[in-house]
Amino acid sequence: MTGPEADFDVAVAGAGLVGLALAVALAEAGLRTALIGREPLKLPDERPAGSDWDSRVYAISPGSASLLRALGAWQALPAERIAPVESMRVEGDDGAVLRFSAHDLGERALAWIVEERALREALTLKLRTTGVAVHAPRELAAIGYAAERALLRFDDGATLTARLVVGADGLRSWVRASAGIVAVPRPYGQTAVVANFACERAHHGRARQWFRDDGGILAWLPLPDRRVSMVWSAPDAQAAELRALAPDALATRAAAAGGDALGAFECITPAAGFPLQFLRLPAVVAHRLALCGDAAHGVHPLAGQGVNLGFGDVEALAAILRERGPVRDAGAPILLDRYARRRAGPVRAMQTVTDSLAHLFGLRAPWARAARNLGMTAVDRLPFVKRLLAEPALR
């Protein structure tokens, strides 16, 4: 691979949701784009036989949904697999309750619950119409950064060049490490245990969340019909116990943990676990390099904002490159600095809120328990404060 056909404006390393969305956005902005992923990209008709609901789901904010709609991916999602979150009820560990309503905030929904697999397939379908050069499955072996471009070498010896490399390859980013941006994610000592259930009673589009007295956080997210997706951020030992349960036992445990608010549960997907870690970097850009998504930041999932922060990165970087004017070099320092500045505030604010809440509800002292529940009760009585809290997550 040499010559003009292997020279790109941008090479996106990482073909998860953020990498796929960015590749589509950049190609539609007129940039020659390459996408590199370790796994093959699959469409619905290439799915293994017998697969049904995906245990991993995302709460897609109205802002992220607008981005996906602009990319043409939202329209490709099967409507019968999407559930709007019309309200949310959050319970503290000492009786406090905090409520949010889409109607009160002037929104159709607080978020939409979408399966990871459905989002990936919709973005892949769109990607195949954009002219993006897809290198998947393929493994990067080295990246060299010169004055005018980066040279990317695959493990089979082939190469390509790009004016800008984007690392969108996850929390343990190889691209980030190879560029010398050193950061070790800080474990929360919790694992998010996820599984989907059929429930006895209708959820009416309401998401529920409980801050538990053991420091864990349990969430039920509405799925279409009488189904919910559970995200239980449990201490690691408890998470291992939950994952070892038989499906019927897990369903009973999950329903009981939420006070049987939706009646009996029936497990419809296997449980999966994802260790929770916090990541804040000294920089998200370097010479001819930008980081996006989990490669750039790690947050606790208690607000469901991890993928939305990633889509915010996509929107910002694509807009900056699309509107770069006379600066034709996609890796120009002025553009990368602009991206870093634009994302610094929103990312830091969300990290501060989620990290502070995770630690606050992890404190076992009686005064801390009383203070956090008193604060929740006070916020619930102040609509303008609830709006201030909700707006960043919505957008």
Domains in the chain and their CATH numbers? 4-45+52-358 (3.50.50.60)
Q: What is the pLDDT of residue 383?
A: 83
**Span 241-257, mean pLDDT?**
97
* C-alpha–C-alpha distance, residues 364 and 360, integer Å: 9
93-152 pLDDT tens trace = 988 999 999 998 889 999 999 999 999 999 999 999 999 999 999 999 999 999 999 999
* C-alpha–C-alpha distance, residues 66 and 72, integer Å: 10
357 vs 235, residue with greater confidence: 235
| 47 pLDDT more than 70 | no
SS3 206: strand
pTM over 0.75, yes/no: yes
Q: pLDDT band at 391, cuts 50/70/90?
A: confident
String of b and e for 44-81 (b: at least 16 CB within 10 Å)? eeeeeeeeebbbbbbbbbbbbbebbeebbbbebbeeeb
| 393 pLDDT more than 90 | no
Do the beta carbons of residue 42 and residue 89 sit within 8 Å? no
Name the helix (H) or strand (E) containing 210. strand 206-211
